[in-house]
Chain A
Amino acid sequence: MPIEIADAAQPRLAKGVRLQTDSATGKSVLLFPEGIVELNETAQEILSRCNGRTFNEIVRALAEEYDSDVAALAADVRETLTDLHQRKLIELT
């Protein structure tokens, strides 16, 4: 069962996971033992803000930057982070 990500949770890349740019495509990728995940733009924008910010702060930062609706954005961000969490690519503190 996926766990609900709390507003105050601080998502971070899991231990052993690296976020970097794939110079062959210019896209962002997550690298981890025995695996590579190519990120879509949304996931990349979210993950680049997972640097100690809480879930709420990440949503607010994105809403400001893209001038979008906070509630709708929060749902998207939660969905993306839940997926990454289930794949053990991020951890929550």
Chain B
Amino acid sequence: MTPPRPYALLAELTYRCPLHCPYCSNPAVASAVRSGDRARQPTSALRIAHATAKDGELTTDEWKSVIRDAATLGVLQIGFSGGEPLARRDLAELVHAAREANLYTNLITSGIGFDDDRIGALRDAGLDSVQLSFQSDDADLADEIAGARAHRRKLDVAAKIRAAGIPLSLNFVIHRRNIDRLPEMIELSEMLGAERVELANVQFYGWAFLNRAALLPTQEQVTRAREIAMEAKARLAGKIDIFYVLPDYYETRPKPCLNGWGQRYLTVNPIGDVLPCPTASSAIPDLRFENVRRRALDWIWRESESFNRFRGTSWMPEPCRSCPQNEIDFGGCRCQAALLTGNAANTDPVCTLSQNRARVDAVLRDINASTPKAFGADWTYRVNPKTLKS
């Protein structure tokens, strides 16, 4: 089987971030796990999260060669992400390098660290679009969720991005604590003049998996939110593109995760590990990832065990193996299978055909049986990487 060519690279430039969102998809750190949590904490995630303070990150030149190599492989788009990519002072230089390689450049940011000079520098470097995250429309709630005073600065940053003429997408991260404010979030999006708005329910990987009991919305909340989002989508058609993303747990068929493992996407994390999926390093502890410091990107994409493990359909067990949907949903999400069943090769348990669907139903039952006072359930804030003193 000839491997396909990749289309998009997610460049996780750093895991440093001024925010502490309890749903961060970056690898969670073991020390933050509360007693009683059953989350498995792979040591590799611990190593990565800690080794990724500034000293362990790829250098500017290393990133430039990753960008060039990715373009040669066929990549057409790059998302600069993190952590907070603005924490890298060389961001504009990397955007410039990506434009030179003819890539479409998207910055995925909290907005913190975006001053006038940097917006100008990024625009001049050729940045094609910005996706700005919001925790809520309400400043107090947003700041509580982020664990930082960030909301008012984000509003200011959104206006500045617009003024600079850079296309702006907003990403509202939705969960149990803020999902009831969807109408206000949509109103804010209109006010900020965004072209595109994602109302994306948290999916449960990384920190969100640890904090699931506090974050997963109820059936009633999800149903109402979908109605509100669909109404707004119709009302604002031609003005704002609205995307509403349901939590996987409430689906009955799995999402076509990544459009298939090792088919279209690759992620390079801050220390240069190349991942088929950004959450794979923490969710699938038995996968060994190759690093751009030791191997050519082309080899990693085509030949490495981690990219080939779940490529195509031949790895699939039943019920996926004989399922007519298996080239539509590709068996769903490997990370979800690993986190919920302990085996990444299982059918995504979100699928009602999976023998493990009962595990998802049990989680939903607990959430939907809980009383409103559980809405204040505690979560653990994401802690940021520190340099390990060795």
Contact = CB atoms under 8 A, between A and B. Distances in A.
A33 B7 contact: no
A16 B5 contact: no
Nearest to A18: B104
Contacts of B74: 22-24
A18 B5 CA distance: 20
Contact of B167 (A16, A20, A23): A16
B41 to A, nearest CB: 31
Contact of A15 (B5, B7, B77, B167): B167
Interface string A1-40: 0000000000000011010101110000101111010000
B20 to A, nearest CB: 26
B104 A31 contact: yes
A18 B128 contact: yes
A1 to B, nearest CB: 9
A16 B7 contact: no
Given A15-B167, A31-B77, A36-B76, A24 B128 contact: no
A38 to B, nearest CB: 10
Given A33-B131, A34-B106, A22 B196 contact: no
Interface residues of A, number: 14
Contacts of A22: 74, 76
Interface in B158-212: 165, 167, 169, 195-196
Please classify how large the interface on chain B is, using the bins under 10, 10 to 19, 20 to 34, 35 or more: 10 to 19
Contacts, number: 41
Contacts of A32: 104, 129
Nearest to B72: A23
Given A15-B195, A36-B7, A31 B76 contact: yes
Nearest to A29: B76
B138 interface: no
A15 B102 CA distance: 17
A33 B5 contact: no
Given A24-B5, A33-B169, A88-B241, A16 B76 contact: no
Contacts of B102: 20, 23
Interface of B: 5, 7-8, 74, 76-77, 102, 104, 106, 128-129, 131, 165, 167, 169, 195-196, 238, 241
Given A18-B128, A32-B129, 12 more contacts: A15-B165, A16-B128, A16-B129, A16-B167, A22-B74, A23-B74, A31-B76, A31-B128, A32-B104, A33-B169, A34-B131, A88-B238
Interface of A: 15-16, 18, 20, 22-24, 29, 31-34, 36, 88
16 contacts: A15-B165, A16-B167, A18-B128, A22-B76, A31-B76, A31-B77, A31-B104, A31-B128, A32-B129, A33-B167, A33-B196, A34-B106, A34-B169, A36-B8, A36-B77, A88-B238
> Which 5 residue pairs of A and B lie closest in terms of their CB atoms, listed nearest first?
A16-B167, A31-B104, A24-B74, A33-B129, A16-B129
